[in-house]
Structure 1
Amino acid sequence: MDEVWDNLTAVQPAPSGRVLIAIAVLTAVLVIWRPVWRHVRQVVTIAHEGAHGLVAALAGRRLTGIRLHSDTSGLTVSRGKPSGAGMIATLLAGYPGPALFGLAAAFLLSRGYAVALLWVLLVALVLLLLQIRNLFGLWSVLVFGTIVFAVTWWASAETQSAFAYLLTWFLLLAAPRAVAELQRSRRGGAGGNSDADQLAHLTGVPALLWVFVFTTLTVGALLLGAYLTVPALSPFISDFTTARP
């Protein structure tokens, strides 16, 4: 336990510049390339529904269960007043959730706490697992949690740091894409029960404006997260420019 605590509180250096460039390219491929995105998008759904559940609990609502589906959709059910600030906050949390989790992760990485970030993620996944109410959701969280645990427990410090950067950048970059998909489905007539439409029903504010709010929050988190983590590339850029004739 002493060794675990030492690892948890230790500061890890950022990966090398070349590794960070490779991570950035891989992150872009995961988010942009549709055949891969269809599968890894489940991570965004886990963060999305987890954000709904977290805010519902903080707002004093009774969380009754979370479902994750194979089409990467999800459902978080909570009991309480069907309107008011608590319900609005719960609905509002979903789409910005992955980006805000990514921003929090970027802050930890900027301080060098890559291993601490992975342990925090593991604890969050265990808590989420207790609220899952369907078999596919259970399977999804267990698979993702197993991968995170394996990296956290057995991988080298360099691999742990690289994996933490990959997860952070993935959440930051994937969140705006999820919002774009929301608006595309709404234009196609398939988003009538979306978070934005439910917020419009509760508040009287047009759903399109809520989509704009989601976009602003996710893009803002992406930019701020990049500001916090991209400086790790500075030594690589400096070496590259110095090496040029």
Structure 2
Amino acid sequence: MVSTVAAASLASLWDEVSGTQPDPDTWVVFATLAAAAAVVVPQGLWRLSRNAVTIAHEGGHGLVALLTGRTLTGIRLHSDTSGLTVSRGKPHGIGMILTAAAGYTAPPLLGLGGAALLGAGRITLLLWLATALLVAMLVMIRNAYGAMSVLVTGGTFVLVSWLAGPQVQAAFAYAVVWFLLLGGVRPAFELQAKRSRGGAGDSDADQLSRLTHVPAGLWLFLFHAVSLCALLGGGRWLLGL
């Protein structure tokens, strides 16, 4: 009897996660776009919200390191919104190149993937996938501030997923995806500005230049292209165009 109830509960849970949910009202889509822009564009709020982009940035490094066969040893997130992902393996080759390239491209590509899920009505699936990724990342965090940042972010997803109603879940999911799409554009411009002033000499673009003998400016162009194309493509999905 107990096993039957448990099986029915699991089946119901799976149906909820894998099923589709109704799209939010149009005004919610535009309101969440405005809310995301409000925390990305102003410099003061961006200093705080950029922490979430750093989580996606370092998570991208870590995920690709694992997928390419490298050994991920740890991730650190700092209060100045910088981060560091350390992996072991060959210091050259395609695995190292893809790992280095994953940071600046991860937030916009995650936003694009999220937009595709929302465009298909998979709001609950998006929230659960994001929670799972944050839990997996938490295991690899190696400093207190990083652990706190990921716990707060993941806890927010858990609370919304379990306690909020469908409309609140939809608004939250749209706000998160808009934030990743918009917030994924700004870091590449910031890096370009730092490099123009002679700073950021050990940036991802510079590391990629040393690995591939391709000018760092071309890697910056790639970061810009990925983030802007993701914003355009993801925006079309979110706006139902």
Question: Which TM-score applies when normalising by structure 1?
Answer: 0.92
Provide structure 2 residue ranges, at least 5 long, that are not aligned to the other structure: 1-8
Deviation of the 1:187 alpha carbon = 1.5
Report the equivalent of 1:239.
Answer: none
Report the equivalent of 1:92.
Answer: 101
1:60-92, Cα deviation, whole Å (9 max, x unpaired): 100000000000000000000001111000001
Cα distance in structure 1, aligned partners of 2:112 and 2:29: 17
Cα distance in structure 2, aligned partners of 1:74 and 1:178: 13
C-alpha RMSD over aligned residues: 1.1
Provide structure 1 residue ranges, at least 5 long, that are not aligned to the other structure: 235-245
Cα distance in structure 2, aligned partners of 1:166 and 1:14: 13
1:87-129, Cα deviation, whole Å (9 max, x unpaired): 0000011101001111111111011011110000000000000
Report the equivalent of 1:179.
Answer: 188
1:57-96 equivalence runs, <5 A: 57-96=66-105
Q: Which moved more, 1:55-64 or 1:1-10?
A: 1-10
Q: Which amino acid aligns with 1:106?
A: A
Report the equivalent of 1:161.
Answer: 170
Q: Which amino acid aligns with 1:20?
A: V
Q: Which amino acid aligns with 1:32?
A: V
Equivalenced residue count is 232
Cα distance in structure 2, aligned partners of 1:77 and 1:138: 16
Report the equivalent of 2:48.
Answer: 39
Cα distance in structure 2, aligned partners of 1:63 and 1:139: 20
Contact 2:29 2:238 in 1 (8 A): no
Deviation of the 1:7 alpha carbon = 2.1
Deviation of the 1:189 alpha carbon = 2.1
Report the equivalent of 1:12.
Answer: 21
Report the equivalent of 2:214.
Answer: 205
Question: Which TM-score applies when normalising by structure 2?
Answer: 0.94
| Runs of at least 4 residues off by over 4 Å | none
Report the equivalent of 1:101.
Answer: 110
Cα distance in structure 1, aligned partners of 2:198 and 2:218: 17
Deviation of the 1:228 alpha carbon = 1.4
SS in 1 for 2:184: helix
Cα distance in structure 1, aligned partners of 2:67 and 2:31: 38
Cα distance in structure 1, aligned partners of 2:30 and 2:93: 45
Report the equivalent of 1:140.
Answer: 149
Q: Which amino acid aligns with 2:65?
A: A
Report the equivalent of 2:135.
Answer: 126
Give identity over the alignment, percent: 50
Q: Which amino acid aligns with 1:107?
A: A
Cα distance in structure 2, aligned partners of 1:113 and 1:45: 25
